[in-house]
Amino acid sequence: MTTHPSSRTEWTVRGTDRDEYIEVMRVVGEALLSPEPPREREHHLRPLLDAEGYDRVLVAVDGDEVVGSVNDFAFEMAMPGGPRPVAGVTGVGVWPTYRRRGVLSAMMRRQLADIHARGEHYAALWASEGAIYGRFGYGPAVAEMETGLRRPHARLRADAPRDPSLRIRLADPEQVRPDLERVHREVAAVQAGRFQRAEHWWDRTLRDLPEQRGGGGPLRAVVVSGPGGPLGYALYRTRNRWERDGSHGEVHVQEVTATAPAAWTALYEHLFNRDLVGEVLFASLAVDDPLHHLLADRGRAVPTLYTSLWVRLVDVPAALSERSYAAPVEAVLEVADRFAPWNAGRWRLRAGTGGARVEATDAAPDVSLDVSHLGAAHLGQTALDGYLRAGLLTEHTTGTVERLDTALHRSRAPFCGQVF
């Protein structure tokens, strides 16, 4: 493929199929600076697409050449108010010589219309470049963290909850996969931002090819169980490293989660007490992960925060109506939305701990804001007050933003933990 701007001034956005998807991989790989040619990446992507189907993949074509692509997966994601269908946007790319010609805008506009037509109220994505997606109505809704602990400081408090009756098993992940799936299913039902993993997503999570190991050992699973079954697990790999003064091995934790306090303690003490280990590294934790509270010296686990999930309200009145609220609030929201015009306008929100109602109105607005601000705030971690102080939204009725933030707040931080 030698895609370049031709003399044509027209291109179209349409669906695609399995046979053409190799061209999609070529375009997206080039856009994301992938070091591997499409055929070498195919075994990573094909299982997902074959399982999910190709009907959600859109391409921009100039004649017979694919010059752009965007896709979304059908997820069930925990949202405030319960699990909801969410379009997990991925595979976004434009051939470099077609940039800044409106290709991405046209694909995103078409994708949002398709998502809306399917009756889905939300879209979410991980942004390879955050500056791109705000203009399409996505807001940075989830901050996660990576951190690490050197061995002398990897100790838990003496009063951390411990249960000697819990069983701890270290195994190949496939040997304990039913336990992993059970724990994750329970956690993903209630922690905003997580989505339920179908079988093909578990295949992807547990795939352990040599080129994925980064010089480390094979993927390992440790499962903590009680009389009623599994209560938590961690997926990790070790890396053997020696220096002049001895072993400085590493434990690289891919994910860790639990459903009971004593299980968190058992998992962290297992990770911290591996022999020959000098440092334990966590790639992705919720910002309120129990680790900070369990550590004897929490200041030693210095967090590096990063934005993970961006959220987009595809149907503003439906999304706000089905959300749960921590406190009563009533406000008229004037929403701007260039890419989903059905959202633009004034909406009266009446909400409380028992439910919410949203309806169109001609009343004067209490707040004027962009749909991306609502997406950022929807999972309860990002406050609208930051946008207000930055001058990016307008408060017409003093105190409205504070009341909205109070109502939208959730005590537990959202978390995704799975790049898609």
Residues at the binding site are 92-94, 100-105, 128-129
**What strands lie across the sheet with 249-258, from one edge to the other?**
167-171, 220-226, 229-239, 249-258, 277-286, 143-150, 304-307
Q: Where are the beta strands (DSSP E) in 114-228?
A: 122-126, 139-140, 143-150, 167-171, 220-226
Residue 133 falls in the annotated catalytic set: yes
Among the listed residues 21, 73, 133, 387, the single catalytic one is 133
Does residue 420 carry a catalytic annotation?
Answer: yes
**Rounded Cα–Cα distance for residues 359 and 59 (Å):** 35
Ordered DSSP codes for 237-288: EEE--EETTEE-EEEEEEEEEESSHHHHHHHHHHHHT-TTEEEEEEEEEETT
Query: Using CB atoms within 10 A of its CB, is residue 253 exposed (0-12), middle (13-18) or buried (19+)?
Result: buried
Q: Retrieve residue 106's tokens.
A: 């046209």
The answer to whether 141 and 309 are in contact (CB under 8 A) is yes
Binding residues for acetyl-CoA: 92-94, 100-105, 128-129
Distance CA 87, CA 64 (A): 28
- In 3-state terms, the chain is what percent helix, strand and coil (to 5)? 30, 35, 35
Q: Which two tokens stand for residue 191?
A: 């922690």
**Residue 227, Cβ neighbours under 10 Å: how many?**
7
Nearest to 410 by CA among 372, 384, 379: 379
Locate tokens 């297992």: which residue?
270
Structure-block tokens of residue 360: 């169109």
Report, as residue numbers or ranges, the catalytic residues: 133, 420
